[in-house]
Amino acid sequence: MIKIGELAKISGCSVQTIRHYEKEQLLAAKLRSDGNFRLYDHADIERLLFIKHCRSLDLSLAEIRQLLSLNDSPMSQCDDVNQMIEQHIEQVERRIADLTQLNKQLKALRLSCNLKRTVEHCGILKQLNEAVSQTN
pLDDT tens readout for residues 33-92: 777 788 899 999 999 999 999 999 999 999 999 999 988 888 888 898 999 999 999 999
pLDDT of residue 56: 95
Strands 38-39 and 31-32: antiparallel
Phi-psi region of 25 (alpha: psi -120 to 50; beta: other; left: phi over 0): left
Give the range with max mean pLDDT: 10-24, 28-42, 116-130. 10-24
3-state secondary structure of 114: coil
Q: If we measure between CA atoms, which residue out of 33, 56, 72, 64 comes closest to residue 4?
A: 33
pLDDT value of residue 136: 67
